[in-house]
Structure 1
Amino acid sequence: MLRLYNSMTQVLEVFIPHENGKVKMFTCGPSIYQPAHLGNYRTFLFEDILLRYLEFSGYNVERTLNFTDIEDKTIIEAKKNLTGIFTLTNSCAAKFFMDIADLEIKKPTYNPRSSTSVEMAVKIIERLLQNGHAYWHKGNVYFDIRSVKDFGKLSHLKSSDWPAKIRRFHRDTYPGNNWNIGDFILWHGHRTEEGLSWESPLGRGRPSWNIQDPAMLCDTLGPTVDIWCGGEDNIVRHHDYNIAVMESVTGKKLSSYWLHGAHLLVEGKKMSKSRGNVIYPENLLTNGYSGKEIRFFLIYGHYRERLNFTSKSMEQKAQRLRDLLVIIDKLKKTSPLKNLENNTASEIIKEMIPIFNSHMDNDLDVLSAFDSLEGAIVKLGYMQDQGKIGKRNIEDIMFSLAQINTVLKVL
Structure 2
Amino acid sequence: MKIFNTLTRKKEEFKPLVPGQISMYVCGPTVYNYIHIGNARSAIAFDTIRRYFEYKGYKVKYVSNFTDVDDKMINEARKEEITVPELAERYINAYLEDTNALNVEPATVHPRATHEIKEIIAFVQDLIAKGYAYEVDGDVYYRAKKFMDYGELSDQNIEQLEEGASEHVNDEEQNRKEDPIDFALWKAQKESDEIAWDSPWGKGRPGWHIECSVMSTKYLGDTIDIHGGGQDLEFPHHENEIAQSEAKTGKKFVNYWMHNGFVTVGKDQEKMSKSLHNFVTVHDILKEVDPQVLRFFMASVQYRRQINYSEDNLKQAETILERFKNALKNIDYRLEDDTESKVSDSLRSAIAKTKENFEAAMDDDFNVQNALTAIYEVLPVVNANTNLSNVDKDELKKFKTLLSSWLSIFGIDCEKLTASVASSDDAEIDELVKKRDEARKNKDWAVSDQIRDQLKELGVTIQDTPQGTRWTRD
Residues 285-322 of structure 1: per-residue CA shift (max 9 Å, x gap): 222x3211111100111111111011111112212211
User: After the TM superposition, which parts of structure 1 deviate over 6 Å for at least 4 consecutive aligned residues?
Assistant: 166-171
| Correspondence for 1:73 | 72
Question: Counterparts in 2 of 1:162-201, with a 5 A limit?
Answer: 163=162, 182-201=181-200
Deviations 1:110-137 (CA, angstroms, capped at 9, x unpaired): 1000000111111111011111100112
8 Å CA contact retained: 2:139, 2:201:
no
Q: How does 1:276-355 map to 2 (within 5 A)?
A: 276-287=277-288, 289-335=289-335, 336=337, 337-355=339-357
Contact 1:67/1:114 (<8 A) preserved: yes
Give runs of aligned pairs for residues 12-411 of structure 1, distance below 5 A: 12-161=11-160, 163=162, 182-267=181-266, 268-273=269-274, 276-287=277-288, 289-335=289-335, 336=337, 337-387=339-389, 389-410=391-412, 411=414
How far did residue 9 of structure 1 move? 0.2
8 Å CA contact 2:20–2:58 kept in 1: the answer is yes
Aligned twin of 1:175: none
Match of 2:307, as an amino acid?
A: L
The residue matched to 1:409 in structure 2 has which SS?
Answer: coil
Note the alpha carbon deviations across 1:362-396, whole angstroms, 9 max, x for none.
10011111121122122210222244632212211
What is the root-mean-square deviation in Å for CA atoms of aligned residues?
A: 2.1
Aligned-pair CA distance for 1:84: 1.5
Contact 1:226–1:255 under 8 Å retained in 2: yes
Determine the C-alpha separation between the residues in 2 that align with 1:264 and 1:161.
27
Deviation at 1:169, TM superposition (A): 7.2
Secondary structure of the structure 2 residue equivalent to 1:236 = helix
Percent identity for Structure 1 against Structure 2: 27
**Distance (Å, rounded) in 2 between the aligned partners of 1:285 and 1:338:** 44
Q: 1:231 to 1:196 in 2, by over 3 A?
A: same
In structure 2, how many angstroms separate the alpha carbons of the residues matched to 1:162 and 1:86?
Answer: 34
Q: CA deviation at 1:281?
A: 2.4
User: Which stretch of the first structure deviates more once superposed, 5-14 or 132-141?
Assistant: 132-141
Alpha-carbon distance in 1 for matches of 2:60, 2:168 = 36
Per-residue displacement from partner, 1:337-383 (whole Å, max 9, x unpaired)?
Answer: 12222111111122232221100001001111112112212221022
Q: Which amino acid aligns with 1:402?
A: S
Deviation at 1:273, TM superposition (A): 4.6
Paired with 1:73 and 1:276, the residues of 2 have a C-alpha distance of 15
- SS state at 1:105 partner: coil
Distance 1:275 1:10, change over 3 A: closer
1:214-269 per-residue CA deviation (whole Å, 9 max, x = no partner) reads 12123311222100000000011110000000000011110000000000011112
Is the Cα contact below 8 Å between 2:6 and 2:259 reproduced in 1?
A: yes
Asked if the contact 1:117/1:219 (under 8 Å) is kept, the reply is no
1:5 and 2:7 aligned: no
**Radius of gyration: which is bigger?**
2
Q: Give the distance between the partners of 2:98 and 2:160, measured in 1 at CA.
A: 42
CA change 1:194–1:5 in 2 (3 A) is farther
CA distance in 2, matches of 1:87, 1:272: 24
1:168/1:374 Cα in 2 relative to 1: closer, same or farther (>3 Å)?
Answer: closer
Q: Distance in 1 between matches of 2:167 and 2:63?
A: 30
Sort the Cα spacing of 1:360 and 1:388 in 2 relative to 1 into closer, same or farther, 3 A: farther
Residues 301 and 307 in structure 2, CA contact (< 8 A), matched pair in contact too: yes
Is the CA contact (8 Å cut-off) linking 1:141 and 1:185 kept in structure 2?
A: yes
Is the contact between residue 118 and residue 215 of structure 1 (CA under 8 Å) also seen in structure 2? no
Q: Which residue pairs with 1:177 in the alignment?
A: none
**Aligned with 2:286: secondary structure?**
helix
Aligned residues: 400
Gaps of 5+ in 2: 171-178, 415-474
Structure 2 Cα separation of the partners of residues 275 and 163 of structure 1: 26
Give the deviation of 1:168 after TM superposition: 11
CA contact (8 A) 2:138 2:202 kept: no
Contact 2:68 2:112 in 1 (8 A): yes
Mapped to 2, the partners of 1:228 and 1:138 lie a distance apart of 33
Given that 2:301 and 2:368 are in contact with CA atoms closer than 8 Å, whether structure 1 keeps it comes out as yes
One-letter code aligned to 1:334: R
Greater share of helix: 2
- Take 2:389 and 2:247, find their aligned partners in 1: how far apart are those partners? 67
- Are the equivalent residues in 1 in contact too, given 2:302–2:366 (CA < 8 A)? yes
Offset of residue 167 of structure 1: 6.7
In structure 1, give the amino acid aligned to 2:324. L
Tell me, yes or no, if the aligned pair for 1:120 and 1:218 is still in contact at 8 Å. no
Maintained 8 Å contact 2:25/2:216: yes
- Give the secondary structure class of the aligned counterpart of 1:334: helix
Q: CA deviation at 1:155?
A: 0.4
Q: Quote the Cα distance in structure 1 between the aligned partners of 2:331 and 2:379.
A: 9
Moved more, 13-22 or 79-88: 79-88
TM-score, reference length from structure 2: 0.80
CA deviation after TM superposition for structure 1 residue 101, in Å = 1.2
Change (3 A) 1:252 1:68: same
Contact 1:18–1:226 (CA under 8 A) maintained in structure 2: yes
Residue 18 of structure 2 aligns to a residue whose secondary structure is coil
CA contact (8 A) 2:26 2:63 kept: yes
